[in-house]
């Protein structure tokens, strides 16, 4: 499964998938902020445990979830590696002049755990419902109409551009183009990206004109939303309690 | 690393980022017309997809940021494009994060606006290659500004972040050069083939109404 095949996960059935969209998005957003602002490692670990529990409940394939976590882990790892050597404090061990500090390691690990837990929860928002449903929920919670439309159009164009990019890369490969660390590669990439933009722009224009001819005036009507039930409120209560609990630990 | 991850910045910085982004988003989308939405969305999607394009640097590779090109193409609407692209990257790629969305949008979106202003000055240069020159300048300086902003924010967290700030600058210096070439080349081609796509040019779709 690639990053563009998240829609496969929408078909899964779980208590998170059937949670009303507004309640789900708002509760998980609050939990993300609580986890990302956890003040110490025990609190951050509690946040990570809650995030993992929600992932398990959502029945998302764990190997795919692990693949999605590659980037945050890669971005956060430098803090764990570098901070022990740049932060003053009690040395963990000492080999000649090298003495990593416990305080530095603690800060690095705190960033790492908080970041990973927040990334897991962000994935949970988009992997448990179609993107249009999530954006509609945000619109109901005050997202401006213009931003809602940019989100919806951009989401669709991503698939279009990715398809075009794949075709273009294949075509360049078949003509013997090899990426090197040189000016020529950068120049060829610039022309390819510009051509990609032009082709997609022309298609976007055609789609826009077709939409106007079908009565588009600047608003998109997405399907009706369902009412919030008692089970949705109960799930909100549990997740928000966890968010408060992490801060109160 | 030009996208700061969740869990790193203190609450005060996160709050400041959201406030600044809210103000700039409002200004970016003020008076937006329905016919502008497809173009903004397209460039937004391109920003997202650009992060899939890797450029080899010795044994490793870097990915493009393209905030300069976004400014060149979208003008002041670029800030909204950057916001949407970063939100999509945060939830679909786990690049950046939800709580740092305000800060990351500010770090990448403000330089996009700077790129737009630099590119606007091309009209003063009387040479057929002015789009390439100013496109390159705008593309390179936008990434450089983003990198410096991220470094300064990390540095503001304490002396212990000095080495990481330097690392962020060092890692991105090649990206500055690559983006300058890519943005300059793309602007040069666009002005010849599809000039209405550049910021400030008349959008053909606006003639529909």
> Is some CB atom of chain A closer than 8 A to the CB atom of B13?
no
For residue B56, the SS3 value is strand
- Determine the distance in angstroms separating the CA of B83 from the nearest CA of chain A, rounded to an integer: 9
B34 touches chain A (CB under 8 A): yes
Q: How many domains does chain A have?
A: 2
Q: Is residue A146 over pLDDT 80? A: yes
In which band, very low, low, confident or very high, does the pLDDT at A4 lie, cut at 50, 70 and 90? low
Confidence of residue B61 (pLDDT cuts 50, 70, 90): low
The answer to whether residue A185 scores a pLDDT higher than 90 is no
* pLDDT confidence of residue A209: 84
Query: Where do the H-state alpha helices sit in chain B?
Result: 11-29, 37-50, 67-74, 78-92, 101-120, 130-155, 162-193
Mean pLDDT of chain A: 89
Give ipTM to 2 decimals: 0.91
Could you tell me the pLDDT band of residue B63, with boundaries at 50, 70 and 90?
confident
Chain B residue numbers touching A185 (CB-CB < 8 A): 55-56
pLDDT tier for residue A168 given thresholds of 50, 70 and 90: confident
Q: Is the pLDDT confidence value at B208 over 60?
A: no
What letters, b where the CB count within 10 A reaches 16 and e where it falls short, cover B181-209? bbbbbbbbbbbeebeebbbeeeeebeeee
pLDDT digits (tens, 9 = 90+) for B143-162: 999 999 999 999 999 999 99
Domain presence at residue A40:
yes
**Domain spans, chain B:** 11-203
Cβ B71 vs Cβ B116: under 8 Å: yes
Q: Which residue from A194, A200, A216 is facing B185, i.e. has the nearest CB?
A: A194
Same domain as A158, residue A122: no
> Which residue in the set B85, B99, B208 is minimally distant from A118, CB to CB?
B99
Q: Which CATH number fits domain B11-203: 1.10.1760.20, 1.20.1630.10, 3.30.230.10, 1.10.357.10?
A: 1.10.1760.20
Same domain membership, residue A72 and residue A160 = no
Q: Do B208 and A212 touch (CB under 8 A)?
A: yes
């Amino acid at each position: 499964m690639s990053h563009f095949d998240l829609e496969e996960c929408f078909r899964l059935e779980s208590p998170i998938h059937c949670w009303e969209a507004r309640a789900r998005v708002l509760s998980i957003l609050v939990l993300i902020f609580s986890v990302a602002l956890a003040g110490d490692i025990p609190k951050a670990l509690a946040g990570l445990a809650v995030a993992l529990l929600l992932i398990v409940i959502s029945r998302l394939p764990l190997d795919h979830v692990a693949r999605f976590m590659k980037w945050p882990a890669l971005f956060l790892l430098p803090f764990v590696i570098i901070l022990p050597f740049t932060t003053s404090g009690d040395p963990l061990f000492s080999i000649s002049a090298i003495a990593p500090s416990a305080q530095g390691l603690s800060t690095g690990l705190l960033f790492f755990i908080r970041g990973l837990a927040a990334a897991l929860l962000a994935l949970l928002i988009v992997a448990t419902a179609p993107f249009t449903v999530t954006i509609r929920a945000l619109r109901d919670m005050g997202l401006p109409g213009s931003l809602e439309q940019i989100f919806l159009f951009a989401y669709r164009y991503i698939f279009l551009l990715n398809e075009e990019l794949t075709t273009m890369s294949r075509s360049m490969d078949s003509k013997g183009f090899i990426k090197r660390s040189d000016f020529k590669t950068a120049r060829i990439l610039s022309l390819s990206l510009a051509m990609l933009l032009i082709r997609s722009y022309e298609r976007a224009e055609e789609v826009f004109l077709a939409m106007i001819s079908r009565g588009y005036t600047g608003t998109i009507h997405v399907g009706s939303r369902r009412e919030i039930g008692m089970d949705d409120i109960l799930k909100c209560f549990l997740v928000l309690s966890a968010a408060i609990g992490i801060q109160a630990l | 690393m030009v996208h700061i991850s969740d869990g790193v910045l203190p609450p005060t910085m996160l709050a400041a980022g959201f406030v600044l982004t809210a103000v700039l988003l409002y200004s970016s989308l003020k008076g937006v017309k329905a016919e502008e939405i497809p173009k903004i969305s397209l460039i937004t999607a391109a920003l997202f997809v650009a992060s899939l394009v890797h450029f080899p640097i010795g044994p490793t590779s870097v990915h493009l940021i393209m905030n300069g090109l976004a400014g060149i193409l979208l003008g002041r609407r670029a800030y909204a494009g950057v916001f949407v692209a970063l939100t999509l990257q945060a939830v679909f790629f786990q690049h950046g994060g939800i709580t740092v969305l305000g800060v990351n949008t500010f770090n990448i979106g403000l330089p996009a606006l700077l790129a737009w202003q630099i590119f606007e000055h091309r009209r003063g240069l009387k040479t057929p290659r002015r789009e390439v020159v100013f496109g390159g300048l705008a593309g390179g300086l936008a990434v450089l500004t983003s990198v410096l902003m991220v470094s300064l924010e990390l540095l503001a967290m304490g002396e212990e972040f000095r080495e990481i700030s330097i690392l962020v600058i060092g890692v991105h210096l090649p990206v500055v050069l690559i983006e300058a070439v890519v943005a300059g080349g793309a602007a040069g081609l666009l002005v010849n083939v599809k000039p209405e796509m550049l910021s400030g040019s008349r959008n053909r779709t606006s003639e529909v109404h």
